[in-house]
Every structure is written in structure tokens, then in C-alpha cells.
Structure 1
Amino acid sequence: MKLWRMVAGVLGFAAVAVGVTPAWACACGGYLPDAESRARAYGENALVRYDGQREQIVLSMAVHGVSKKAAWIMPVPAAAEVSLDDKNTFYGLEAITAPKVVTRTTYWPFRNLKITDRDGSVGGAPRGPAAVDVRQQMTLGPFQVARLGGSSASAVTNWLRVNGYVVPATLATNLTPYITEKWEIVAVKLAPKETSGSLSGATPPLRLSFASARIVYPMRLSKGATTQQTVSVYVASDHRVDASQLPDPSVQPKLLYAGRVTDRPELTGSHNYLTAYTVSYADPSRITNDFTFTPAANDDEFQRITYVTENDGWPSTLAIVLLGPLLIGVGAALLARRSVRKSRA
């Protein structure tokens, strides 16, 4: 596992170093890149906590490049409380859901050869038109946050444009279902502290908390993306959950982990059953729904397995190399002798 992580890290660093923009974007909502600065989000983690009445979504994105305008839009079904979350949240979740390493021994004449099977499994800004309800504006760490309601998607996108957000041509169309359903729109702008500063690496996790009768993870805005969309969602509730409604019914998410976790601050009380999924959408235009998660039929646990094959060391290898031919020869002689006896009989 360490070898794969090392390779992935080197490749990721090399891609950034040569100016290659990875084909990832924020799958939680509408990521609005700053075309001038070429800032991009190339990774995302999301923790969804649910206690039966309120839902929390914790987001952290990896950003490369200098950004003054880059932002993302997150629709939520009810008025949201927005705050920063613990910066170490996702380190703990990644450790919990990592594949279990199972070592298998080999006696071939290669010392410390490792072969891995990665897929084994057992405020103050100008107000917009009257049709937009600016409910709150605040600054949280490197973010400028606005909570918006609106009578139409065009009114909301006009407000975003007036207030310095980059607005793609398809945003109003993709926002319309949320506005029709009276969802609140949380607009988050990346705001470096210095004019010439840059945002890179993982952003501080941002937490949105709101009332909800179901576990939902907004995805419909990703329909407007032009590159592959990848998202990993960690769902913490009282039981294991299934992805009962899919953004694209033709693309099934991959289960990463399922089990109770009792020793992590991210998962408290009785809502400590963690179910983790990941999924990639090669054709985001096929996305038509949000994720909805519902209780599974049982709380069966699941953890991926990575098999690592290691040589037992030079003593056993030498013994096999030296004794192997002798044992084979003895076995062949015994078989020949038995054959002779049978023929005489």
C-alpha cells in the first residue's frame, strides 16, 4: 500500500509541476474556476453526518493555482449553518477506510519482492436584485460565504455575477430544479489573504449543517462539468446505508468501507456507523439526480483487502533452490521404480 501511495504522490506532484491540470472537479456542486488564474480543484473529500433530523456535510477540496474568483456553489434543502471543521477530519477517515493489508509469503528466489492487488475486497458585499434573498455573508478562513434564496435561477446567477463570481452559461439552467424546490444556495468563494497569494493543497474543511428528512448529497450541478467527476462520500449515521438514488443510474458507486467506528472524534454518539463510497463520472452530462442514502437491510461490515506478497528471505530461498532439484529427483526415481514393479507384476 505504501508503494502505491508513493507512486501516486510522485505522479501527482509531477503533474502540478509541469502545469498539467488533473481532470477532477468539485462533484459536490458547481465548481466555478477562475479562467484568468487557471486555479483548479483536483480532489475532494466529503463527510456526511446524519442523526435522523439534521444533516452535516463537511467538504475539503485540493486546489492548485492562484485564485481571486474561483468558487463553488452548494445547494442544500434547508437553511444552513456554515462553519469550519477540524482540519484533521479526513486524515482519520482515510486511515479507517484504507484497505486491510494481508501478507502472503513466497519462496521464489527474489528477496522482498512485493506484489499488490489494489482491488481485493472481503456581511457587506453589494446586494443583488430584489428577487434574491441574501440571508447571510461571512468570511471563514480562506472562504467568503454567502447564503442565498431566490425567486429564479437567473436572479441568483445575476447576483453571483455582480458580486464577482465566475458564472458559466449553463449554471442558471442547472440551478433551476433547486430553486423550484426552494433549496438554499450556499456560494463559497476562495479568498486568499494576500492579493498575490495562492491557494494550494487541501482547503480547510467547511461544514454545512441543515435540517433534512433524508440523507442527501447534492450532485445535480455537476451535470454542467466538462471533465470527469470523481467524488468520495463518507456517510456517518446509526446504521449502514445504501446509495438508493444515484446521480447517474448507469454508474454504480464502489463500496470502500462499512463498519462501526468508536474511537474517532469525527464519529460520535450512536451515529458512528461509517459507510464510504467512491464513484467517477466520465460523462457528467448524464447526471440527473442527487445521491440519496437510506438504511441498508443489515449492518454487515466490509473492508477492502490489499494482498502483499513477500519473499521469506534468503535462507528459505536458498534451501528451496538447493533441495528442490534433489527432492524432484528422488520423487521421479520412486515413481520410476513403482512403474517397473507394476510392469513385472
Structure 2
Amino acid sequence: MRRRIAALLFALLATQVGALANPAFACGCGAMVPDRQSRIGVDRETSVVRWDGRTEQIVMRFTVGGDAHRAAWIMPVPGRATVELGDAEVFGELSRLTRPERRTRGYFWPRDGDWPFSATDGATAGAPPPGSADPGVGVVGRERLGDFDVARLTATDPDALKNWLETNGFDLPERLTAEVKPYVDRKWEYVAVRLAPRQPGTPLRGDLDPLRIRFDSPTPVYPMRLSRMAKTPQSLGLYVLADHRMEPSSAIGGSAPEVTFAGKIAPKDGPLAELTGGQPVFLTAIDQRFPEPGRIDADHELRATAQDTPYRRVVYRGELLTVGDGIPVWLLTVSAPLVAVAASALVVLRRRRRRTAAGAGAAV
């Protein structure tokens, strides 16, 4: 009888356990193309926008792949720009400030990796000379900054701008003339950049040196329209530093912008403090994807939200509920009725034995 009860308990427990059983040819800030015999992919573009009400600063960094040794891109800006190398550490600071809060959330039934589904413990080179003059193009300045040959230009004619770029080694798409016309009409200026590693023969790969661009602007704007020339999906990570929580005024043809962090920060030192002037600012982190770049129809115009509501993502890690020395709660819950059945069966068995023994004694 004891063996039968044990077998019954094992069968019931087994029944319960068994029942459980993308190269891109454009970037977010402008057009990027390699030389004609190579390919380049912009895996990720991450930028910081700092706006103090009058002046805008953009620090941008590209993560690229492919086999191109040279590439070029152009970024329209609404005013006279200055360009210098940025400090890559600012991205590390912002990543730490905006990382998600991690919490543990218990679950009842065992999952893959928990007993009894697993027997483990659960571990598991100098700047090039200026080009020839063109009546439709003005050269504000030209510098060599790290791996970048930077030209700051004005233009009154889109064809003249394209001709100057091609004459001076900036090999850009045929569509550029049409795409820059809206900027020419609005009298914007341009930052044209050639990417060429200082060591000849080295392909452009990984995180490139960041660039820091500064210009006056009455409203914060992030140039995006030239990205419509991209051939593959694009992604953008944008950190916005301003007096208030900020948001794009529209999706401009991409997916809905996702806020991944919003809150006040007060950096005391380091490159982030230099960027903010040591003043407390509101930081908004935004992610956006552009599955069909051809649908991009404008630049990102940023505006303050109605309220400075703070936000931080929360990432939950599941943990099996246990008690005592790590005994799963589900096992106790499932076992309790079984133990009760077994105890009842034992009681019945003992009573039968007593009656049997009493009957045998009476017979004697």
C-alpha cells in the first residue's frame, strides 16, 4: 500500500510538471556616399543637440562598416557654422545617465532554465588647399580635423554647389542638386565633410571621431531631409539638452519618435558640463527609425513639451519565487494537496491495520 501511495504521488507530480511543459548611403544629418568602387554602411548615428535659446551645438558620431577608404557627406545648417572635433566621452556620460532602471519581478511557474526543466544552476594627412573660386559658392573656411576634411560653404545656386564639391573631391550623388535646392532657397549654409583615415589604406570602420558643429538658430533643428537619398533603413539616436523636455514636432516620414529618457541633469565637470556650460539642463533622449528613407520630407524641428514630465525606462528581470533555502513556491503549492492526499491515505491504512489487528485478537 505504501508503494502504491508513493507511486500515486509521483504520478500526480509528474502530471503537473508535464502540463507546464540592414549598406546605408545616407546618414541622419545629410548625404553620405563612398567612392564608386566601395561600400559603406552607417550602422548607427548618435547625436547630441544643445540649444540655449540662441545658439545650437550638434555633436555627432557615426558607427560605420564596409570597405570604403574614403567617403563624403554634406550637412545643411541654418546659419554660419564653426566645426571642431568633439569629445567621444560625452556619449559615454549620456549613456550612463539615461540607462534603464533595472528591477526584479517574480514569477510563479518555472521557465526554461529553472528546475525541473534544467539541470544547471542557471549560470550560463594636412588640410587640402582651397578649390578654385566659383561665383555661386563661397568658401567660409576649410580645415583638417582628425579623419575629416571639412569645408564650410555658402551657395546661391545648387548646381554651382554640386560642381564645387565634385571639383574639390567631394563625390556626392547626382540627386544632390535637387535635394539641396530647398536649402539654397532658404539661404542656409553647408558643412561638407570628407572622411579619410590618417593612415592610408585603412578602411572606415567602427566609431568615427565625433564632430562638434555650432551655429546660431532661433529654434532647435536637426537636419534630416537629405537622408531621403538613403537606400536602406536608417536609425537615429538623439540626445537633446535644453531648458525643457523636448520633442520632434512631427515624425517627418519615419516611425513615431520614442522617448527613452527625460529628466533634469546637472553635470559638474567633463565634456558634458562643457557642453551645457555647467548649468542644469533638461535631457531628452529620443530614438527613431526610418524604414523607408524616401519618405523623409523635412528636417526635425524640436519644440518644448507641455510639461517637463520625467521618464526613465524600466527593464524587468524575471526571478522564480522561492522560500527558505530556495524552495520554489510552485512546488510547495502543488505538493501541499498531494501531501494531504498521502497523509489521508496513511491514516486510512493505519485504521484498517488496527481493525484487522483487533479482529484477529478477538478471534483468538
Short-chain TM bin: 0.7 to 0.9
Structure 2 gaps of 5+ residues are 1-21, 343-364
CA distance 1:60–1:143, shift in 2 (3 Å)? same
CA distance 1:319–1:259, shift in 2 (3 Å)? closer
SS in structure 1 of the partner of residue 165 of structure 2: helix
Aligned residues: 305
TM-score, L = length of structure 1: 0.81
Q: Which residue of the other structure, out of 124, 138, 143, is the alignment partner of 1:133?
A: 138
Deviation track 1:79-106 (CA, whole Å, cap 9, x = no partner) reads 0010111121111212222221111234
1:152-301 alignment runs, 5 A limit = 152-248=157-253, 251-263=255-267, 265=270, 266-267=272-273, 268=276, 269-270=278-279, 272-301=281-310
Deviation track 1:111-144 (CA, whole Å, cap 9, x = no partner) reads 7669xxxxxxxx6132242211011000011100
Provide the alpha-carbon RMSD of the alignment: 2.6
Residue 330 of structure 1 and its aligned partner are, at CA, apart by 6.6
CA distance 1:25–1:306, shift in 2 (3 Å)? farther
Residue 68 of structure 1 and its aligned partner are, at CA, apart by 4.2
Percent identity, please.
37
Larger Rg: 2
Looking at structure 2, the residues matched to 103 and 206 of structure 1 have their Cα atoms a distance apart, in angstroms, of 39
Instruction: Report the residue type matching 1:327 in the other structure.
Output: A
CA distance 1:112–1:28, shift in 2 (3 Å)? farther
Looking at structure 1, the residues matched to 25 and 73 of structure 2 have their Cα atoms a distance apart, in angstroms, of 14
Query: Which residue is 2:315 aligned to?
Result: 306
CA distance 1:254–1:295, shift in 2 (3 Å)? same
Q: Is the 8 A contact 2:33 2:40 kept in 1?
A: no
TM-score, L = length of structure 2: 0.77
CA distance 1:74–1:61, shift in 2 (3 Å)? same
Q: Is the 8 A contact 2:25 2:229 kept in 1?
A: no
Residue 291 of structure 1 and its aligned partner are, at CA, apart by 0.5
Residue 73 of structure 1 and its aligned partner are, at CA, apart by 0.8
Looking at structure 1, the residues matched to 251 and 162 of structure 2 have their Cα atoms a distance apart, in angstroms, of 26
Instruction: Report the residue type matching 2:255 in the other structure.
Output: V
1:94 is aligned to 2:98: no
Looking at structure 1, the residues matched to 315 and 198 of structure 2 have their Cα atoms a distance apart, in angstroms, of 42
SS in structure 1 of the partner of residue 283 of structure 2: strand
Looking at structure 2, the residues matched to 179 and 139 of structure 1 have their Cα atoms a distance apart, in angstroms, of 25
Looking at structure 2, the residues matched to 39 and 132 of structure 1 have their Cα atoms a distance apart, in angstroms, of 28
Q: Out of 143-152 and 36-45, give the one that drifted further.
A: 36-45
Q: Is the 8 A contact 1:127 1:134 kept in 2?
A: no
1:44 is aligned to 2:53: no
SS in structure 1 of the partner of residue 249 of structure 2: strand
